[in-house]
Structure 1
Amino acid sequence: MSQETIMSRRDALKLGFVGAGAAMLSASQAMAAAPTEKDVKFDEEYDVIVIGSGFAGLAAAAKSAERGYKVLILEKMGRVGGNSVINGGGMAIPNNPLQKKYGIEDSNEKFYADCLKAGLGINHVEMLELIAKRAFDAFDFAVKCGAQFQDDKPPLQFGGHSVARSVVTKNASGSGIIQPMAAFVEKLPGCKLVTRAKMDDFVMSNDGTTVIGVTARINYRFDNKLYSDDIENKTGEKKVYRAKKGVILASGGFAMDKMFRKMQDPRIPDDADTTNHDGATAGALLKAFQIGALPVHIDWIQQGPWASPDERGFGTSPHVTQGGTFKYGISVDVRNGKRFMNEMADRKTRADAQYVILRQDPKAYPVSLGTYNSFDQNVIETLDKALASGVMKKFDTLDALAANYKIPADALKATVKKYNEDVKNSVVDEFKKQTLPEIYGKEAIEMKGPFYASRQMPKPHHTMGGLKINTKAQVISANTNKPIPGFFAAGEVTGGTHGASRLGSCAITDCLVCGMVAGENI
């Protein structure tokens, strides 16, 4: 990449956007104003334009269309759903009926406490209050759109949550929400969804204060390079769209944007695998910054501690660890056979513990192990797939497991023995993991063969930062600290809600709630 393409640090400081990413743009690009009404000729006119077709975008579009608005959804990729369609399908809902059915006590206050602990206390609490208040509304709306959830088993307890509060789609995937919701949206009068349609810029009112539309390219062909929204990619036919009521940005996070993520966290290698789809890039976010949107927590990038080096992307590993080897089993350092973390802590705590090992020896991938008799039904349903892919392996004895991963066998057996004793005696171990009793009233489950194991490696998963929005999903201006007229946002493109690290299964709740709120308020 030429020197002209990369803005100098001095130029970035002049713009005040070093932490927000203008450092990766040329000075002329970053300083170029968005086009105004006098600069363009509109090809088509809609009431509402939504950028992105994941949980947040589809919820926003549906709520807007239900109010009688004419809605256009622009999705830059060739398929609908973004990261949402490959999401694990878990949705955190405090005080849900399934909890009451199984005698699980919960409260919004417990939910806030859990989120604040994981987020290191830097969460914007008013946003947590919003998603807790509207969580069941969002669930009901997803069901109205055709989503189906597992209702014949207890809710799941994801890492960092103090109680089980997460319901899961029947297919244990975000596609269980996205596919029916996309079909629901496309049947709504006046609602149009276009794929391979990349938003290039916002169109502002002539006085530069209000978002009134977007420029875009139709039949765009995404090309994932080092800088994922490559400025040299000129594919597609240019279009200009007016939005009479406003624009809702739901373009997602940027964990696949190798250049931008490295600007925020230089420790992330260019070739680091992620759990995200290829189109999870920063282009739309940067355009929002250029029109004055306030950035929040941009350099907090969450790593998924349940990912594996033995498969690409999200894969099956999170399913077999979350309700299996992490929840009821253990993770060990392969160099000494000892546990090194609370396997049910929040994601940041676990990923940080894994990185202590991997930064000392990049090939010493920690191993997570457990036994079949303790696995949740979701794990059992995924087990054959995980075994066939080689992500998970089965061993009759601990000696065989230790030999495969080159773990000191005697040390591993001692670790398992101590863990079983702690479980049997209801001992809270040194890592403060809830080992016993199993929260649904089962008897204590000891680890005994056959054993199932997989290697773990953190992968960039969720970009915590983004645009600051208020509880009406209005984007806040960095210049005035007030909402930018005509501009709303929802989902992972926003920041602040989850602080330093999001708890698992809170993404669907956040995206659906804030998408709905944007559609209700625009």
Structure 2
Amino acid sequence: MGSVHPEINHGRRDLIKLGAAGMGVVLLGEQALAEPKKGVKFDEEYDVIIVGSGFAGIACGIKCAEKGYKTLMIEKMGRIGGNSVINGGIFCVPQNDLQKKAGIKDSNELFIADCMKAGLGINHKELLETLAKRAHETYQFTLKYGAKYLDSLVHEGGHSVPRTYQTAVGSGAGIVLPLMERFEKMAGVALKTRTKFDDFVMDDAGRVIGILAREDYRFDSKLFSDDLENQGGTPKAFKATKAVMLASGGFCQDKYYRAVQDPRLTPSTDSTNHPGATAGVLLKAFGIGAVPVQVSWIQFGPWACPDEKGFGVGSMFNVNASFRYGISVDPKTGKRYMNELADRKIRADHMFAVIGKDENYPINLCDSQAIERLLPDHYEKALKAGILKKFNTLEELAQHYKMPVEAFKKTVTDYNSYVKAGKDPEFGKPTNMVDGITLSKAPFYAMRGTPKLHHTMGGLQINTQAQVIHSKTHQPIPGLYAAGEVTGGVHGASRLGSVAITDCLTFGMIAGENI
């Protein structure tokens, strides 16, 4: 079972009234029961068709175009990038140049061990080994096509050492936009937005030879899934002479399918994902025999804010400041309750325990020394939106959040002593990661915190060549590749922060190389 809790329902157990077509575990309506289409008359022909325009899709597209393949990329939403363009832009690269410059000792084995620990040991290790071997090459690939990074490393929770680059703009757009600009300038490529994948086209031998799609599609986020009704668009059939590559992402916003995996997730459970993060492509792949891997493991990001929707403008404050350089406090007691730099699942579990049934949201805070280390976008927008608060004294902060003042001040005093001593005896926060920054320099900054649905661990089984595996033959489905969050097994039960970009880009490149 994934990292979810009954408290998130706030008493709402009446999930979804299912009709007869909604009773299957992996099917969405009667259309999913039909055989994949054969004998289709194609409207357009390409060498490669890529479904999705985020990290994985763009990396694959560039690699295919470099080989001279006529390549079509389709995106069902009106803008490109999916979750990739709005994510935090933190990119894990073990044994990187900045580590070597700073004298930080790292290894592929340590990286894999960190991932396995967070993933509760159920990661598919051969996929992690592939990431470790190729990560530096993937990083160089992004530099080649215009991505820019800060000249310092981020130490993400759950990692033994700092090994994470941060894009210069502070989001995934710093990778997506320059790479997409390059892709669109390459010969023989086409990008179609508002074009939704509907089904695979197979030949008699079981090879994927194309797709059915709809152009001029308008996604409707009010529905539980984008597959429950037509929603318009012009049907088209696209032929792929070499392969179809799936880069359609996860399903955190698919209110039906995520609840099938865990009924504690109600339609109102918030997510950091963009509205189009649904399961339609994944389910169609299951329908042609792809192996499901660990689909019920769903990760919560522990750094979101309950006072805004989705990922919002506050998350990066917690990712970069309060958790690393500050503390998280239970407002009822004024005390810390967790290691603020543990992996995401551990932090989310502890936060849910504090929140409970009465929505007692934790307070995440830091001081001005931490703020000085942030990019402006990591805190200024949150201040302007009013979800991040600024206080002249600790007493003022405690009174605003109705915390017991003396207990809170003692918590701060104790924490500061732990930082100075280099050891946190209460929760084991790795004080070597906080650069000696204590909670001591006014003004102070604070925000309410909550976990939100962030990443679906499971998906399609792939091999180290990014080929999708068939459930009966245990061999690759001919003509079908996949990379990124639509796949499963890399991260096990819970993903370490900043490894998603590594995963998506690397296996996207590998798919393009092997098609």
Which of the five TM-score ranges fits, normalised by the shorter chain? over 0.9
Question: After superposition, what is the alpha-carbon deviation per residue over 1:313-351, rounded to whole angstroms, capped at 9, x for unaligned?
Answer: 112322212221110211011111111111001111000
- The one-letter code sitting in structure 2 at the alignment partner of 1:516 is M
Aligned ranges 1:420-439 → 2 under 5 Å: 420-436=416-432, 438=434
Distance 2:285 2:458 in 1: 13
Question: Which stretch of structure 1 is more off in the superposition, 399-408 or 496-505?
Answer: 399-408
The residue number in structure 2 matching 1:341 is 338
The residue number in structure 2 matching 1:189 is 187
Distance 2:362 2:17 in 1: 40
Question: Does 1:351 find its partner at 2:351?
Answer: no
Q: Shift of the alpha carbon at 1:395?
A: 0.9
The residue number in structure 1 matching 2:382 is 386
Question: Does 1:374 find its partner at 2:367?
Answer: no
Distance 2:223 2:401 in 1: 34
TM-score, normalised with respect to structure 1: 0.93
Counterpart of 1:290 (choices 287, 290, 298) is 287
Q: Structure 1 residues 349 and 88 mapped into 2: Cα distance closer, same or farther (>3 Å)?
A: same
Q: Shift of the alpha carbon at 1:163?
A: 0.8
The residue number in structure 2 matching 1:506 is 499
- The one-letter code sitting in structure 2 at the alignment partner of 1:364 is N
Q: Shift of the alpha carbon at 1:427?
A: 2.2
- The one-letter code sitting in structure 2 at the alignment partner of 1:419 is Y
- The one-letter code sitting in structure 2 at the alignment partner of 1:177 is I
The residue number in structure 2 matching 1:15 is none
Instruction: Classify the secondary structure of the residue corresponding to 1:520.
Output: helix
- The one-letter code sitting in structure 1 at the alignment partner of 2:98 is L
Instruction: Classify the secondary structure of the residue corresponding to 1:322.
Output: helix
Aligned ranges 1:114-513 → 2 under 5 Å: 114-151=114-151, 154-207=152-205, 209-361=206-358, 363-375=359-371, 377-379=373-375, 382-436=378-432, 438=434, 442-443=435-436, 445-513=438-506
Question: After superposition, what is the alpha-carbon deviation per residue over 1:79-137, rounded to whole angstroms, capped at 9, x for unaligned?
Answer: 11000000111100001001111221111111011101111111011111111111111
Q: Structure 1 residues 130 and 376 mapped into 2: Cα distance closer, same or farther (>3 Å)?
A: farther
What's the Cα RMSD here? 1.6
- The one-letter code sitting in structure 1 at the alignment partner of 2:33 is M
The residue number in structure 1 matching 2:11 is none
Q: Shift of the alpha carbon at 1:234?
A: 3.7
Contact 1:310/1:390 (<8 A) preserved: no
Contact 2:85/2:172 (<8 A) preserved: yes
Contact 1:426/1:437 (<8 A) preserved: no
Question: Which stretch of structure 1 is more off in the superposition, 159-168 or 418-427?
Answer: 418-427
Question: Which stretch of structure 1 is more off in the superposition, 219-228 or 246-255?
Answer: 219-228
Q: Shift of the alpha carbon at 1:251?
A: 0.3
Q: Shift of the alpha carbon at 1:443?
A: 4.3
Q: Shift of the alpha carbon at 1:448?
A: 4.3
Q: Shift of the alpha carbon at 1:376?
A: 6.1
TM-score, normalised with respect to structure 2: 0.94
- The one-letter code sitting in structure 1 at the alignment partner of 2:202 is M
Distance 1:142 1:135 in 2: 11
Distance 2:297 2:416 in 1: 37
The residue number in structure 2 matching 1:57 is 57
Distance 1:144 1:310 in 2: 39
Distance 1:390 1:332 in 2: 20
Distance 1:238 1:269 in 2: 33
Instruction: Classify the secondary structure of the residue corresponding to 2:303.
Output: coil
Question: Which stretch of structure 1 is more off in the superposition, 109-118 or 227-236?
Answer: 227-236
Distance 2:332 2:133 in 1: 46
Distance 2:337 2:438 in 1: 21
Question: After superposition, what is the alpha-carbon deviation per residue over 1:416-448, rounded to whole angstroms, capped at 9, x for unaligned?
Answer: 11111111222232211112474xxx5453434
Q: Structure 1 residues 519 and 5 mapped into 2: Cα distance closer, same or farther (>3 Å)?
A: farther
- Give me the identity figure in percent: 55
Contact 1:329/1:447 (<8 A) preserved: no
Instruction: Classify the secondary structure of the residue corresponding to 1:327.
Output: helix
Question: Which stretch of structure 1 is more off in the superposition, 60-69 or 425-434?
Answer: 425-434
Question: After superposition, what is the alpha-carbon deviation per residue over 1:144-184, rounded to whole angstroms, capped at 9, x for unaligned?
Answer: 11111112xx2000111111110111101111111111111
Q: Shift of the alpha carbon at 1:372?
A: 1.2
- The one-letter code sitting in structure 2 at the alignment partner of 1:171 is V
Contact 1:248/1:488 (<8 A) preserved: yes
Contact 1:199/1:284 (<8 A) preserved: yes
The residue number in structure 1 matching 2:6 is none
Contact 1:123/1:497 (<8 A) preserved: yes
The residue number in structure 2 matching 1:68 is 68
Instruction: Classify the secondary structure of the residue corresponding to 2:486.
Output: coil
- The one-letter code sitting in structure 1 at the alignment partner of 2:413 is K
- The one-letter code sitting in structure 2 at the alignment partner of 1:411 is A
Q: Shift of the alpha carbon at 1:4?
A: 4.1
